[in-house]
Structure 1
């Protein structure tokens, strides 16, 4: 099994590789300009900036969640515009524990571009390790990015509803436990979780230092899961579910879906049932 992660050292050795494109995905929820401002201040040499809300999400509607999936044709055009084609290895990084980078990684997997990895550590780790940074903006040589959409990677609300409580299906809530239990809800109008969901907080994908855990550690995290099950992962808006999906893939799980709208979509329908107890 090939890893979906790249080490700092390996990226440092490939900074001048024309077949490697680096995408800076830094973004701070609630501070929509902070990531771009940080990028303009300094970034990994050659990195292009990808904005969670401008590039990796569509506009918010009444339903569909707080970060709906972007228009895929527009995303493909943006990727091609910065020089990504079928031969390009894409390396994504952020400074948010890999959550934003994993969103980009998942979207590229969804578009059929398997040559996509997430940097094993954050941008802060990169700087502390003494690797180069720059404020210089990269030059783009446009190419043609041709998507091959993997429809089986994603579920929408009707598909999730059909599978609730079904044998052979595991639903994972990637939010912190207090939100999962409905004890607090700082963002969405309703607290709780989708009935039958179990809780695996996405930040448990990381070591205490904030780097990604190794594959064997991820397998230990998910030892309660049946590898033959269909696994559906959601979070608040479809962003922090993606680090869990990457971790599951690292652990060897293959049949893993994203509920794209996640809790913010689910709770936008008043008639939908809500769980507030462990395993309920």
Structure 2
């Protein structure tokens, strides 16, 4: 029998005591009705995929409890105390707030412990969570943002929710040669260089004829389900948005990109892409959805309207003209009348749209952020950035959120700023300046 030192025994006792203390803190359970009567806040501690609407089992409930916030236990290691405080402030939580958690016991315990450490003393569990499917809320098109385990199960031939109706392809998208792909990628994934879908001088999408040839080369028809991922989510989104324009009916992206797959510790492939059998015919006219792209004149027509928004997905320094954001774009400024849709800290980041693990931020948070700039779901909306990548990521999120009339202004700031007659503004801007 293995001997256990007195110190080890003491440590075990203290550990059990700590766990018991946390468990005792969580002993209280409230129903949603009771919590609402006391104006409390519900927090979903599950992964964002399940919060968004993916069922955890084939026949399980889909979505989250009404008005629930998402604070996934899996994010905690990526959030320092200052970031957690910022998240709480953004959602109007104070140490006096009454909070009820739901998710797995382990996730609830982890989030509760972190909240307690931050000074939140009134934390309980939601006793009737996920028991009334009719009241649950979800992204209208949650299936367009897939998660790693779903892909893995699909590849294994298992039954999955929102399964493709026919053939499917998994594709990594990135700029240039597949240098990172060669080291590790999702097993069986094809590879698309973004140069296959956009070209100089303005990095706009290629011609429809070239697009047709690219799709054929990768064995893609209009009825092929295409699941794209990237080391950067916006690279996959750029290809996805162009494929939707072309007429591929079912295009999805891996929420959180390659990092999500890597973090899930799922199998990886190495080496060059396998040979793909070309498609004989796309099976439908190209473009199938031309309304998903707008040109410069159409973009101009969206300015200063209450029923439309031309939305800049650029960092604040880009938006107010402190920087162009790109070494190869010289003019600084912004399209006069464009509304700021947020982005990130610079031209290569999208933190404003991401959870701590890189997945899409909650739809409620994004919609609230846009509403401040008079960007609304019933408007005609076109997103743009410098050359289309960040705008495409936002387009994919808006599409998953159920926004029906969304597009990308492909030319973006690069094209707009190259024409001196186009109205440009710099300096401090406000939402009211765009009306």
Cα shift at 1:239: 1.7
Provide the rounded CA distance (Å) in 1 between the counterparts of 2:381 and 2:222: 28
Cα shift at 1:83: 2.1
| 2:193 aligned residue (24, 33, 51) | 51
Tell me the residue number matched to 2:403: 253
Corresponding position: 1:110 with 2:208? no
Q: Deviations over 1:200-248 (max 9, x none)?
A: 2232221122112243443333344332211121100122111111122
Corresponding position: 1:209 with 2:331? no
Tell me the residue number matched to 1:274: 424
| 1:41 aligned residue (173, 183, 186) | 183
Corresponding position: 1:14 with 2:154? yes
Where is the helix percentage greater, Structure 1 or Structure 2? Answer: 2
| 1:191 aligned residue (325, 328, 332) | 332
Does the 8 Å CA contact 1:173/1:180 hold for their aligned counterparts?
A: yes
Corresponding position: 1:145 with 2:145? no
Corresponding position: 1:235 with 2:405? no
Provide the rounded CA distance (Å) in 2 between the counterparts of 1:218 and 1:163: 21
Cα shift at 1:16: 5.1
Tell me the residue number matched to 1:100: 235
Name which of structure 1's ranges 137-146 and 194-203 shifts more when overlaid on structure 2: 137-146
Provide the rounded CA distance (Å) in 2 between the counterparts of 1:186 and 1:106: 22
Runs of 4+ displaced beyond 6 Å = none
Gaps of 5+ in 1: none
Tell me the residue number matched to 1:135: 270
Provide the rounded CA distance (Å) in 2 between the counterparts of 1:261 and 1:248: 20
Does the 8 Å CA contact 2:141/2:402 hold for their aligned counterparts?
A: no
In structure 2, the CA distance between the partners of 1:222 and 1:249, relative to structure 1 (3 Å rule), is farther
Does the 8 Å CA contact 1:77/1:145 hold for their aligned counterparts?
A: no
Q: What is the TM-score with the length of structure 1 in the denominator?
A: 0.88
Gaps of 5+ in 2: 1-139, 158-165, 344-349
Name which of structure 1's ranges 100-109 and 259-268 shifts more when overlaid on structure 2: 100-109
Provide the rounded CA distance (Å) in 2 between the counterparts of 1:205 and 1:186: 18
| CA RMSD, Structure 1 to Structure 2 (Å) | 1.9
Provide the rounded CA distance (Å) in 1 between the counterparts of 2:414 and 2:316: 16
Structure of higher CA gyration radius:
2
Provide the rounded CA distance (Å) in 2 between the counterparts of 1:12 and 1:228: 36
Give the number of equivalent residue pairs: 267
